Structure 1
Amino acid sequence: MKILLLLGLVVLSECLVKVPLRKGESLRSRLRRQGLLGDYLNKHPYNPASKYFPTLAQASGEPLQNYMDIEYFGTISIGSPPQEFTVIFDTGSANLWVPSVYCSSPACNNHHKFNPQQSSTFQATNTPVSIQYGTGSMTGVLGYDTVQVGNIAVSSQIFGLSQSEPGSFLYYSPFDGILGLAFPGLASSGATPVFDNMWSQSLIPQDLFSVYLSSDGQSGSFVLFGGTDTSYYSGNLNWIPLTAESYWQITVDSVSINGQVIACSGSCQAIVDTGTSLIAGPPTPIANIQYYIGASQNSNGQYVINCNSISNMPTIVFTINGVQFPLPASAYVRQNQQGCTSGFQSMSLPTSSGDLWILGDVFIREYFVVFDRANNYVGMAPIA
Structure 2
Amino acid sequence: MKWIGVLSLVALSECLVTIPLIKIKSMRENLRRKDLLKDYLEKHPYRLFYKFYKQSNSEATYEPMRNYLDLYYVGNISIGTPPQEFRVIFDTGSADLWVPSIYCSSKACTTHNVFDPRLSSTFRSTRQHIRLVYGSGAMSGFLGYDNVQIGSLVDVSQAFGLSQKESNKSFEYGTFDGILGLAYPNIAIQGTTPVFDNLWKQGLIPQNVFAFYLSSNNEEGSMVLFGGVDPSYYRGDLKWVPVTQRGFWQISMDSISMNRKIIACNGGCQAIVDTGTSLLIGPNDFISQILKIINAQPTSNGESVVDCSSVDTLPDIIFTISGVKYPVPASAYIQKDNLDICYSNFEGMAVDSDLWILGDVFLRLYFTVFDRANDRIGLAPVAK
TM-score range, shorter chain: 0.7 to 0.9
Aligned to 1:234: 235
TM-score w.r.t. the length of structure 1 is 0.85
Q: Which runs of 5+ in 2 are unaligned?
A: 1-6, 8-21, 28-54
Aligned to 1:281: 282
**Aligned ranges for residues 216-365 of structure 1 at < 5 Å?**
216-338=217-339, 339-349=341-351, 355-365=354-364
Q: Which runs of 5+ in 1 are unaligned?
A: 8-51
Q: Letter of the aligned partner of 1:132 in structure 2?
A: V
What SS class does the counterpart of residue 324 from structure 1 fall into?
strand
Aligned to 2:50: none
> Would the aligned equivalents of 1:211 and 1:222 in 2 still touch at CA under 8 Å?
yes
Question: Which segment is superposed worse, 162-171 or 74-83?
Answer: 162-171
CA-to-aligned-CA distance 1:39-63 (integer Å, 9 cap, x gap): xxxxxxxxxxxxx99xxx9410110
Q: Letter of the aligned partner of 2:374 in structure 1?
A: N
What SS class does the counterpart of residue 355 from structure 1 fall into?
coil
Aligned-pair CA distance for 1:301: 2.1
> Would the aligned equivalents of 1:6 and 1:71 in 2 still touch at CA under 8 Å?
no
**Aligned ranges for residues 1-384 of structure 1 at < 5 Å?**
1=7, 2-6=22-26, 58-338=59-339, 339-349=341-351, 355-384=354-383
Q: What is the identity percentage for the equivalent residue pairs of Structure 1 and Structure 2?
A: 54
Cα distance in structure 1, aligned partners of 2:349 and 2:179: 21
What SS class does the counterpart of residue 369 from structure 2 fall into?
strand
Cα distance in structure 2, aligned partners of 1:87 and 1:325: 29
Question: Which segment is superposed worse, 140-149 or 340-349?
Answer: 340-349
Aligned-pair CA distance for 1:6: 3.6
Cα distance in structure 2, aligned partners of 1:368 and 1:349: 29
Aligned to 1:28: none
Aligned-pair CA distance for 1:190: 3.4
Cα distance in structure 1, aligned partners of 2:331 and 2:179: 29
Aligned-pair CA distance for 1:3: 3.0
Aligned-pair CA distance for 1:295: 1.0
* Displaced runs of 4 or more, over 6 A: none
- The structure whose Rg is larger is 1
> Would the aligned equivalents of 2:24 and 2:278 in 1 still touch at CA under 8 Å?
yes
Cα distance in structure 1, aligned partners of 2:331 and 2:184: 32
CA-to-aligned-CA distance 1:15-38 (integer Å, 9 cap, x gap): xxxxxxxxxxxxxxxxxxxxxxxx
What SS class does the counterpart of residue 289 from structure 1 fall into?
helix
Aligned-pair CA distance for 1:349: 4.9
CA-to-aligned-CA distance 1:344-376 (integer Å, 9 cap, x gap): 0011455xxx62111000000000000000000
Aligned-pair CA distance for 1:185: 0.7
Q: Letter of the aligned partner of 2:90 in structure 1?
A: F
Cα distance in structure 2, aligned partners of 1:129 and 1:246: 19
Cα distance in structure 1, aligned partners of 2:329 and 2:315: 7
Cα distance in structure 2, aligned partners of 1:58 and 1:356: 35
> Would the aligned equivalents of 1:129 and 1:189 in 2 still touch at CA under 8 Å?
no
Aligned-pair CA distance for 1:314: 1.4
CA-to-aligned-CA distance 1:232-255 (integer Å, 9 cap, x gap): 111100000001000000011100
> Would the aligned equivalents of 2:24 and 2:72 in 1 still touch at CA under 8 Å?
no
Cα distance in structure 1, aligned partners of 2:156 and 2:262: 49
Aligned-pair CA distance for 1:257: 0.3
Aligned to 1:40: none
Aligned-pair CA distance for 1:280: 0.5
> Would the aligned equivalents of 1:293 and 1:314 in 2 still touch at CA under 8 Å?
no
Cα distance in structure 1, aligned partners of 2:235 and 2:351: 33
> Would the aligned equivalents of 1:152 and 1:203 in 2 still touch at CA under 8 Å?
yes
What SS class does the counterpart of residue 288 from structure 1 fall into?
helix
The aligned length equals: 334
Q: Letter of the aligned partner of 1:291 in structure 2?
A: K
Cα distance in structure 2, aligned partners of 1:116 and 1:318: 46
RMSD value over aligned CA atoms?
Answer: 1.5
What SS class does the counterpart of residue 190 from structure 1 fall into?
coil
Cα distance in structure 2, aligned partners of 1:3 and 1:207: 23
Cα distance in structure 2, aligned partners of 1:109 and 1:231: 40
What SS class does the counterpart of residue 189 from structure 1 fall into?
coil
> Would the aligned equivalents of 2:23 and 2:94 in 1 still touch at CA under 8 Å?
no
> Would the aligned equivalents of 1:295 and 1:303 in 2 still touch at CA under 8 Å?
yes
Aligned-pair CA distance for 1:183: 0.4
